[in-house]
Amino acid sequence: GENVEQHPSTLSVQEGDSAVIKCTYSDSASNYFPWYKQELGKGPQLIIDIRSNVGEKKDQRIAVTLNKTAKHFSLHITETQPEDSAVYFCAASEAGGYQKVTFGTGTKLQVIP
Amino acid sequence: GAVVSQHPSRVICKSGTSVKIECRSLDFQATTMFWYRQFPKQSLMLMATSNEGSKATYEQGVEKDKFLINHASLTLSTLTVTSAHPEDSSFYICSALDEKLFFGSGTQLSVL
């Protein structure tokens, strides 16, 4: 089955700096890669996703890149703000997400004011 | 995005009792819902896939007789933890598919 690795496990940045979280996946059949933000005691919230036919996608301060050859994908958050502090999970799925999604181990991001 | 409602948000029960958790898709119909379990500071572990009108598909190692799943309508799936024990204490999260995967707010189960 699919295996998703995520690094780093914790990340501290100064407010205004950028944060980068990296993931790798093992199954070349995976074609859908969502990213989720989870605040303490809440369910994960979808923040951005990318499909395998696209190399990069951006939504305001958040961007995701995908390297299918290397089976790498990354989340980039620019101009970080304290409210960006949370746990971020990457994930991978086949069939555009209509089959089960495999999650990474999570990254706890702390933005220091 | 689509809204998934999960209730209750927190439940405390005595060992040996059963607890039901509801997951509703509020503004869309979901033929497929998923149930996850999450331990503190860990990732989400898929427990089962809930399909409307058919039996749920359980992941390896998940006891189907302990974690009963019912998906009787296109907007409601329920997870019942039967004869709960302290080791069942965890954060349970449901999700539903509406082109993309959307999550409920989770249920913190504490079994005394």
Residue B49 is nearest to which of A43, A100, A103, comparing CB atoms?
Answer: A100
Distance CA(A41)–CA(A93), nearest Å, equals: 25
* Residue B3 pLDDT greater than 70, yes or no: yes
Whole-number percent of chain A with pLDDT over 70: 97
Residue A43 is nearest to which of B1, B41, B103, comparing CB atoms?
Answer: B103
pLDDT of residue A98: 67
* Residue B97 pLDDT greater than 90, yes or no: no
Q: Name the maximum alpha-carbon separation found in chain A.
A: 41
Beta-carbon separation of A98 and B97 below 8 A = yes
**Hey, CA dihedral for B64, B68, B69, B72, is it positive or negative?**
positive
Distance CA(A32)–CA(A103), nearest Å, equals: 12
* Residue A50 pLDDT greater than 90, yes or no: yes
Beta-carbon separation of A97 and B108 below 8 A = no
Whole-number percent of chain B with pLDDT over 90: 79
| Across A3-22, average pLDDT | 97
| Across A9-18, average pLDDT | 98
pLDDT band (50, 70, 90) for residue B99: confident
pLDDT of residue A96: 65
Residue identified by tokens 């989870």 is A38
pLDDT of residue B96: 92
Per-residue pLDDT of A70-108, as tens digits, reads 999 999 999 999 999 999 999 999 876 667 789 999 999
Per-residue pLDDT of B17-58, as tens digits, reads 999 999 999 999 988 999 999 999 899 999 999 888 888 999
pLDDT of residue A101: 87
Tell whether A85 lies on the interface with B, counting CB pairs under 8 A: no
**Among all residues of chain A, which has the CA nearest to that of B50?**
A100
Going by their DSSP bridges, the two strands B10-13 and B107-111 should be labelled as parallel
pLDDT of residue B39: 92
**CA separation, residue A59 to residues A21, A64, A74 (Å):** 16, 9, 14
| Across A52-72, average pLDDT | 94
Q: Taking CB atoms and an 8 Å cutoff, what residues of chain B touch A100?
A: 34, 46, 49
Residue identified by tokens 């501290």 is A12
A20 or B55: which carries more pLDDT confidence? A20
SS3 assignment, position A83: helix
